[in-house]
Amino acid sequence: MLVVMKHSATDIQIIEVVDRLRQMGFRAERLPGSERTAIGIMGNVGYVDADAVAQYPGVKELIHVTKPYKLVSREFHPENTVILVGNVRIGEDFVVIAGPCAVESEAQLMEAAEGVKKAGARLLRGGAFKPRTGPYSFQGLGLEGLKLLAKARDLTGLPVVTELLSESDLEMVAEYADVIQIGARNMQNFELLKAVGKTQKPILLKRGMSARLEEFLLAAEYILNEGNPNVILCERGIRTFETATRNTLDLNIVPLIKELSHLPILVDPSHGTGIYSLVAPLSKAAKAVGADGLMIEVHPHPEEALSDGNQSLNLENFTQLMNEL
């Protein structure tokens, strides 16, 4: 960290900051510049937070240099992480996860599962617990939905991915799911992150709607720090001023995460755009940019979907996309 002193800071003010930092257990060095002095801070003594010196007289601003994550960092773990789900190697193969936004009925799910399998999907997605913006929207089938997912897995052999909304459902969801999804709205639900970190299940962690790259990696760090190394990241669009699309899919972050971290990263163009006609072109772009795979909403009859009908592909469009990929 760097403490930048004001142009007008006195020598005594500088010495006070250096002394305080040393008392806190840091190594602190003066770095005189042409217009002002900076103080370099080295070392890390756990919980003590050097930001506390921000209010000392003469301090202009604090600049953080060291990245606050370690376990997810490629600097300290250069090889790609590969996560085995059934016989699928996420982080090595290019993997497509597909299925409906929500599990609605046995007929819907089985038709979707068989359809996406036939088209080449390697995992099946489907929400049993749905995080909806308003309380009056369809909230998912719950346990019944989980059982249908298990049935669809039996039918097709596809491992299933489903979202966990609450610690209290963890045991139940873990029993049925092959991959547990943590949705965008829960990316900083730290208690939920810690809870799934105590399992060894593969976790699909979606980027929060307004999460900076560093925050996204730190959310993953929470899971790894509890002992679970099986984290799959997923870019799903961020919130910006643009209203022509539901979100702005941020493909910049994909190759940047490949530089900074060893974890696999997927892309969800369905939520990322919110418009079904954009899903195919953005899927191709995601593959071209170096993503490890895709997560795509597919509904056998999107015009009857209980949620996200506007962004779901039907089986015909999905099959065509898979052929083009």
Q: Which is nearer to a second copy, 29 or 106 (CB)?
A: 29
Helices (H), ranges, the chain: 11-23, 106-119, 143-156, 170-176, 190-197, 213-225, 253-260, 269-273, 276-289, 315-324
Minimum Å gap between C-beta 54 and a second copy is: 4
Closest CA to 221 of 23, 27, 68: 68
Q: Which is nearer to a second copy, 27 or 118 (CB)?
A: 27
Minimum Å gap between C-beta 203 and a second copy is: 15
Q: Which is nearer to a second copy, 88 or 109 (CB)?
A: 109
Phi, psi of 66 (to 5 degrees): -70, 140
Q: Which is nearer to a second copy, 164 or 179 (CB)?
A: 164
CA distance 276 to 311: 4
Minimum Å gap between C-beta 97 and a second copy is: 19
CA distance 97 to 294: 6
Q: Which is nearer to a second copy, 292 or 308 (CB)?
A: 308
Minimum Å gap between C-beta 20 and a second copy is: 7
CA distance 156 to 122: 10
Minimum Å gap between C-beta 84 and a second copy is: 25
The three-class DSSP label of residue 42 is strand
Q: Residue 83 in contact with residue 202, Cβ under 8 Å?
A: yes
